[in-house]
Structure 1
Amino acid sequence: MKKVILILGLAFFLLSCTNDDNYITIYGKVEREVNGEGIANQTVSLTIGQAHGSGPYGSYTTIIENRLVTTDSNGNFSISAKRVDRMFVEVFKSQDDNYSTFELKSFNPRDNIILKVNKFLKFKIFVKNANPFDSNDGINIDFFSGNKQSFRTKIENFGAENTKYPEEILPGGGIIGGSEEASWGGVNVNSIVYYNVPENADTHKIYWIKAKKSIVTSGFTLEIPFQENQINEFHVDY
């Protein structure tokens, strides 16, 4: 009886080792680029594939599986995947309201995968026609953040509506989607524009084009002061 138990135990151990050899654990982390701080509750998309054919990258690939994972309190994630020859993993994290995107990139599944993203600084820009002249008054603004892209997230109007373009149906078929601008005309301009700006931006200014008394001028504001963990307000009165 003892021999039977010993044999069964040995067989189970060998089977477990064999199963472990057929799988690989893929490890990764989402962190802030500026300081390496791990970011919790980030959704990461992983595509596990296999290269086929000649050459270092193969002549074609097949997809084994697609997975979604969520980072833990330290920004880490891991998944177990079936091990195959010449496997690779493509990783992507979409942009949300607080952190930038991590563009699709391919990794060796044996690497420790690091996804570097940037936290968004929040700006709330008040725009008001403080000295109205006539209905030809106008202004257009945009956030200037140097070589880093900022994102306008919302416009609130308490006076005139901002400029909006409806969707357009093309003659040959297809549609051009509607859009809007942070621009206004007339004397009753009183609005708020919200921006997300990546924390690695090297400048924080508003670029403006203004029409007043039939004269069009343009320029930049001074550098806008900001705090990381608050909504930073700035007024553009014209």
Structure 2
Amino acid sequence: MNGEGISNQQVLLQINQVHGTGYWSYTTRIDSKEVTTDSNGNFSTSMKNESNTFVSVFKSQDDNYTAFELSNFNTNKDIVLKVNKFLKFKIYVNNTNPFDANDYIYIDFFSGNKQSFRTKIENFGIQNKHYPAENLPGGGTTGAFEESSWRGINVNSIVYYNVPENADNYKIYWLKLKNTIESSGVTPEIQFQEDQVNEYNFNY
């Protein structure tokens, strides 16, 4: 985001060739390479090049930076990959004012139009909600997944998030049920520093 080069990043390059025109056109891959950026964040490589070719570039998301993808890029131009650094958040979730075993809480990171990523949940009390894989009517399945939600009194957990540095907001969205009363909202903006794990206590 600040324009500085990032070292030791894996970049996949593909050279594709277009055949035909219009409805009947198709592409084939004539070369592909994976390169690593140097200490200044630069990379270069030699690849096959023929007529009617274009470059596709992909850098996968890792624990520190967002992904980048660019298709149909002209081979005679420099390629600039723009990624955003992830800010780290560690959210403590505690039921400090329990009512009964039907207490329910769901949280998620609210980052506006930029996607945040939950990376881990640690439970020191009851477990968060897990959904098993299911067979669908007519065939197919849904994969198993977990949710940052808990039902019960002894909620004492930590939820970890990676949030892009260009996010619009840094808040926690919550949905709560206590004593049959459902409520929801967002926390105030969470203060953070870029190069550390930012901790926030969410007590309910």
TM-score range, shorter chain: over 0.9
TM-score (norm 2): 0.95
Q: Which amino acid aligns with 1:90?
A: S
* Alignment-derived partner of residue 155 in structure 1: 121
Could you tell me whether the CA contact under 8 Å between 2:101 and 2:151 is conserved in 1? yes
Q: Which amino acid aligns with 2:8?
A: N
Q: Aligned pair count? A: 203
Cα distance in 2 for residues equivalent to 1:52 and 1:187: 63
Question: What are the equivalent positions in structure 2 for 1:98-137 lying under 5 Å apart?
Answer: 98-137=64-103
Cα distance in 2 for residues equivalent to 1:82 and 1:105: 17
Q: 2:136 aligns with which of 170, 177, 180?
A: 170
Question: What are the equivalent positions in structure 2 for 1:82-93 lying under 5 Å apart?
Answer: 82-93=48-59
Show structure 1 runs of 5+ residues with no match: 1-33
Cα distance in 1 for residues equivalent to 2:53 and 2:133: 44
Cα distance in 2 for residues equivalent to 1:43 and 1:191: 34
Could you tell me whether the CA contact under 8 Å between 1:49 and 1:88 is conserved in 2? yes
Could you tell me whether the CA contact under 8 Å between 2:7 and 2:38 is conserved in 1? yes
| 2:105 is the alignment partner of 1:139 | yes
Q: 1:219 aligns with which of 180, 185, 188?
A: 185
Cα distance in 2 for residues equivalent to 1:212 and 1:155: 23
Q: 2:40 aligns with which of 38, 55, 74?
A: 74
Question: What are the equivalent positions in structure 2 for 1:54-65 lying under 5 Å apart?
Answer: 54=21, 59-65=25-31
Cα distance in 1 for residues equivalent to 2:138 and 2:19: 41
Determine what percentage of the aligned residue pairs are the same residue: 67
Deviations 1:86-120 (A, max 9, x none): 22111111111100011242211110001101000
Cα distance in 2 for residues equivalent to 1:52 and 1:132: 66
Cα distance in 2 for residues equivalent to 1:61 and 1:133: 62
Deviations 1:181-238 (A, max 9, x none): 1000111000000000000012100011111122111111000000000000000101
Q: Which amino acid aligns with 1:52?
A: H
* Alignment-derived partner of residue 2 in structure 2: 35
Cα distance in 2 for residues equivalent to 1:65 and 1:183: 46
Query: Which contiguous aligned blocks of 4+ residues in structure 1 show a shift greater than 6 angstroms?
Result: none
* Alignment-derived partner of residue 3 in structure 1: none
Q: Choose 59-68 or 129-138, whichever is displaced more.
A: 59-68
Cα distance in 1 for residues equivalent to 2:21 and 2:91: 56
* Alignment-derived partner of residue 25 in structure 1: none
**CA RMSD, aligned part only?**
1.4
Look up the SS of the partner of 1:109 in the other structure.
coil
Deviations 1:124-178 (A, max 9, x none): 0000000111101110001000111100010000001001100112343322100
Assess, with a 3 A threshold, how the Cα gap between structure 1 residues 172 and 54 changes in structure 2: closer, same or farther.
closer
Could you tell me whether the CA contact under 8 Å between 2:65 and 2:85 is conserved in 1? yes
| Structure with greater proportional helix content | 1
Show structure 2 runs of 5+ residues with no match: none
Say which one has the larger Rg. Answer: 1
